[in-house]
Structure 1
Amino acid sequence: MADAPIEKSRDPLKISREEQNQHLEDILELSGGFGRFQVFQLVISLILSILCSCNHLGAIFVSFSPRFRCGNSSPVAPLDQNLTLDETFSSNCSDRCLTHEFDESTMVRTFVTDFDLVCDRLYLLPTLTGVYMAGIVVFNGAGGILSDHFGRRKVILFLGALHILSAFVTILVSSSYVGIMVLRFFVGGSIHASWSAFFVLASELTVERRRGVSGGVLNFGWNLGTIFLATVAFLLRDWHLLQWVFAGMSLVMVSYYFLVLESPRWLLRQGKFIEAENVYFRIAKANGVNDPTVLELMQQKLDMVRTVSESILIEQDQGFLKDGSFRSFLKQAQERIAELLRNQELVKRFALMSIPWFAIGMASYGIHFSAKLVAFDIFSLTIIKEATVIVTIGVLVAFYAEMRRTITLFLLCGLSGGFCIAFLFLDESLSLTRGIWLIVCQALITSNFFLLNTYTAEVFSTDVRNSVFSLIESFGKFGSLLAPFVVDLGGETHRGLPPAVFGMFLVLAAAVFLFMPETKSQPLTQGVEDLKDEKNSIAVLCSSRLRK
């Protein structure tokens, strides 16, 4: 790390809130910038991303619907000759069928084959996905609020323990549809809310110039996880064995008790100044920073930040659970929510960011299920798509570091939307072209997620960052909940319609970034009182140039 400029000590009482945000960025730079500590944090977060991806996208394989034919028939109403001679897995339904036989060429055992989820029981299949997504929505909303109140680390550890328990209990109730449905609520909610809290934590521990890298690595984990998932699914072809693999992998989260530190930004915001200082100096030690002059400058800046943080806590009268009661917690939460809703800039940013999260959440999840719309092997197509996404994100990480955030998101959302809409006009006989086009669509859409995750963490303040991030991400999961219905129902009308629908929502999402503030080269803000209408959005800048 290059030697940081040495500042003369100043009266801490004269530091402004804006200067406080910059000082916190300086402290991270002085503690080693993007050093060994940050790299190690990204490695353990990468493991969490892989686990999250396997659970989230595992539905592609564990809920795979193979072709089927009638098995046993009713003795009262015997099957007609055409049905009894069906040897081609034509997937024809009949009221006379009591059970079905399934084509095992792709997957030998799935939820569909175990619980006969075809024909009049077909509605039970998307119900499993809906309950999984509902768990994410509920846990994300609650986990974000709890993370901002009790800390990132505690929430990550609690949700990790809940996920491990849920993953293994799922195996025990594997013969019960209702049991699996209930457990998937907890499996999906716990792992995803844990990932959201870790993403926010990683953003708060990473210097501004490397947040694009941090977000890229966390998203790389999803792509690597999907490749791993497709490979293991190809080898095992049994949802029960896959669940054993996922449960075994979840045990890695036990190590987080020893490896994950609390966010020093959150500690400062809560008035836990000594603990925050200890974390910053532990980071410096891990990064090999031992120059007494640098460490002294770190302490000076921490003293300045502490003074401002204390004054903010006094102004807002934010005692931490003053009487320790649950009633006190609820009262404080109610007062805090009312205060936040009065902040027009926070409400505006939340409302605008909900739109791209919904659109990208729907498109990203839906494009995975759209693989059934092209005549390709599902295992090969999944691996090729994810490898392409990894290359795309790798390019964008470097691009994102140089370009304005809002312009990059505007262009990428618009481009991915255009490609998806164009899929509608590709003739179904062009199997290779449609397969390649779908791969490009997914690479662009999934890359949007990497950029959106990073930008969202930057555009909100520390005191509400995890709450807002998780609540907004819930809009994305609501979009994901609708995606399978768009694919299944829209695909019945026209096999190019689902990607086109996703594309139209992406074009709408692109327009949002015309009105959002630019965050490149800006420090993370500590409190909602620091959120200002920066007047640096694309729309404002274009309007100013036109007036000139």
Structure 2
Amino acid sequence: MSAQENLLAPLEKFGSFQTRVVIVAYLTAIVVGPNVWMTVFVVYTPPHRCYIPELDDGNKTSEVDYVVVPSNLSNSSVARYIPVVDGNLQKPEWSSCTRYNESTTAGQGNVGVVSCDRGWKYMTEENVITAVSEFDLVCDKSWLAPLVPSCLMFGLMAGSFLGGILADRFGRKKVLLGALVIMCASLSISAFTPSWIGLHVLTFFIGLGGIARTSILTILLSEITPNKIRYKVTVAHILVMAVGSCMLPLMAFLLPNWRHLYGAVGLLHFLVLFPSFIVFEESPRWLLENGKLDEARNLLQKIAKINNVILDEAKLLELGRDRETRVNQEAEKKQSGRRKLSYLDLVRVPFLRRRIIILSIAWLAVNVSYYGVSLAANNLGGNRYLTFFALVSVELPGHILSYFTIRKLGSRVAFMIFSSVCGVFILAVPLLQTVDDTAVIVSNVIGKLLATGTFSLLYAFTGELFPTLLRSQSYSVCSVVSRPSSVLVPFLLYVGEFYHPIIPYSVMGAIVIGAAVGMFFLPETKSQPMPDTMEDAKLQNRFITKVRC
């Protein structure tokens, strides 16, 4: 046992210090849970048409007259002003972006149409105000609505890249608290932003702070909790975030104005900010690895006192000598010309290159399916609040199901089954839209459950295919390659809204099924040890299924 392990051994129990940190961590997880999905309600585009003063000044057009195109147009007052067009399901509906000229009516020949130069009339639930209806992000500006969740995905991508680097460089606590402040400030300012430009910029920082908080806090929890419960604590952290996501539909229903929703979530972030500054401490392991022995001594003394354990301070002196010896040994290895593994080996070595390419495609497919079926909640019909609740609540059984499936079948086979079946249900969604809204929602929910399961399976499987010194780098490559696909998902759904809903679901389903096929060419890892060296990883090729003609 090393000096560092001896030093931390008395703290290898779940004491009062860890209890406080975990409680506050889970509180932040609950309030952060809604962040990723708030754009579903913020950029909801309600049915709309051109604003007609003769109809809308002081009058409220009935929902039937507004939404449904009557069989006898002469009986509808709207028909005198608004033309009828074919929707994306080839069903007649009122035009969203044009109206008849003032001097013409629907019954006259050679009728001219003009754009909605007087604004729009939105058909929403009582008191519902979205960013789309407030800033009129429709027709010519309709592409700005899907840009909001895309900005969030850009933030997730940037936060994934910067969070780990900054945490390794400046410490877990500073970057974690900084991420919480960024989220709190961005959400609060968003509630008062006067323009759609501010909304887009602030949404980017909400995503950046959210993913940085999640990744760094997961690392911090794993570094301060005992080995025997470390996995349970970190998994529970993810599940608590899912619980927070389940609260979002209720909040959106009670706060129909998008500004009030942002303000309420920002207030919750503000409430957990104070206990976070008080309870969260730097990781003792990070301090020790970076040679900050004085800070490590003070922190360990504090933790030992809280947990009522004895700290062997003599080990700190031994640790200092061990660290100096380790630095000298690393310098000798460098002088001897021994090469360390790097990102380039993932491309340079043929069998690693094949694995990283297939896994990157799989990560891309999982991102597309996971975010695609979630962000499409507004387009599925039925009650959009209940539909979204169903989509986020299935994440819990999705993670649990993947855990037991891995134990039974192994990561590779389980992923192939989950991914292929997920693709089938995603492909079925647009086909069922002409049949029944309930069938559409059920198919989409099952697709989300399986997409969540594939996420868990892919995390486990990726780490089992690379040697220890390339394992974290393989995760980084797959994550960076897959993130741009999630940025494009909102625009993929946008194409489906304006042309045909079969387009985005066909793309998502085909990619997910293709990822399942690609897994056939990777080795099976069930009952096999994790590879430590390059030679161990290469030996896994013995377990690739042979393809025979």
Task: Name the TM-score, length of structure 1 as normaliser.
Answer: 0.73
Please say if residues 147 and 155 of structure 1, whose CA atoms lie closer than 8 Å, have aligned partners that are also in contact.
yes
Post-superposition Cα deviations, 1:196-255, rounded to whole Å, max 9, x if no partner, equal 222233344456664553443233233222221110101111101001112101111332
Distance 1:418 1:305 in 2: 56
Of residues 434, 438, 456, the one that matches 2:440 is: 434
Alignment CA distance shift 1:406-1:211 (3 Å)? farther
Amino acid in structure 1 at the alignment position of 2:327: L
Identify the residue that residue 195 of structure 1 maps to in structure 2: 214
Identify the residue that residue 84 of structure 1 maps to in structure 2: 81
Distance 1:208 1:106 in 2: 52
Alignment CA distance shift 1:457-1:37 (3 Å)? farther
Identify the residue that residue 93 of structure 1 maps to in structure 2: 97
Of residues 362, 368, 372, the one that matches 1:362 is: 368
How far apart are 1:395 and its partner, in Å? 4.5
Identify the residue that residue 50 of structure 1 maps to in structure 2: 30
Structure with greater Cα Rg: 2
Alignment CA distance shift 1:222-1:456 (3 Å)? farther
Unaligned runs of 5+ in 1: 1-8, 13-19, 75-79, 319-337
1:435-454 matches, within 5 Å, as 435-452=441-458
Distance 2:406 2:19 in 1: 19
Distance 2:268 2:539 in 1: 43
Alignment CA distance shift 1:29-1:354 (3 Å)? farther
Amino acid in structure 2 at the alignment position of 1:439: V
Of residues 137, 152, 163, the one that matches 2:172 is: 152
Distance 2:409 2:12 in 1: 25
Alignment CA distance shift 1:49-1:125 (3 Å)? same
Amino acid in structure 1 at the alignment position of 2:144: L
Post-superposition Cα deviations, 1:526-545, rounded to whole Å, max 9, x if no partner, equal xxxx76453388654356x9
Distance 1:180 1:305 in 2: 50
Please say if residues 50 and 120 of structure 2, whose CA atoms lie closer than 8 Å, have aligned partners that are also in contact.
yes
Post-superposition Cα deviations, 1:361-389, rounded to whole Å, max 9, x if no partner, equal 22111101223443221101111222232
Alignment CA distance shift 1:363-1:307 (3 Å)? farther
Distance 1:522 1:285 in 2: 39
Distance 1:445 1:72 in 2: 44
Identify the residue that residue 331 of structure 1 maps to in structure 2: none
Alignment CA distance shift 1:248-1:453 (3 Å)? farther
> Once the two structures are aligned, what percentage of the paired residues are identical?
24
How far apart are 1:403 and its partner, in Å? 7.2
Identify the residue that residue 323 of structure 1 maps to in structure 2: none
Of residues 328, 332, 337, the one that matches 1:314 is: 328
What is the CA RMSD across the aligned residues, in angstroms?
Answer: 4.6
1:39-438 matches, within 5 Å, as 40-71=20-51, 82=79, 84=81, 90-94=94-98, 95-98=114-117, 99-105=119-125, 108-172=128-192, 174-206=193-225, 210=229, 212-251=231-270, 252-272=272-292, 290=309, 310-316=324-330, 340-344=342-346, 353-397=359-403, 404=410, 408-423=414-429, 426=432, 428-438=434-444
Task: Name the TM-score, length of structure 2 as normaliser.
Answer: 0.73
Amino acid in structure 2 at the alignment position of 1:340: S
Alignment CA distance shift 1:448-1:284 (3 Å)? farther
* Greater mean deviation of Cα atoms: 154-163 or 494-503: 494-503
SS in 2 for 1:534: helix
Post-superposition Cα deviations, 1:487-516, rounded to whole Å, max 9, x if no partner, equal 232455543443342233334444459648
Higher relative contact order (CA 8 A, sep 6+): 1
* Greater mean deviation of Cα atoms: 65-74 or 464-473: 464-473
Please say if residues 132 and 185 of structure 1, whose CA atoms lie closer than 8 Å, have aligned partners that are also in contact.
yes
* Greater mean deviation of Cα atoms: 257-266 or 34-43: 34-43
Distance 2:421 2:305 in 1: 44
SS in 2 for 1:101: strand
How far apart are 1:57 and its partner, in Å? 0.6
SS in 2 for 1:340: coil
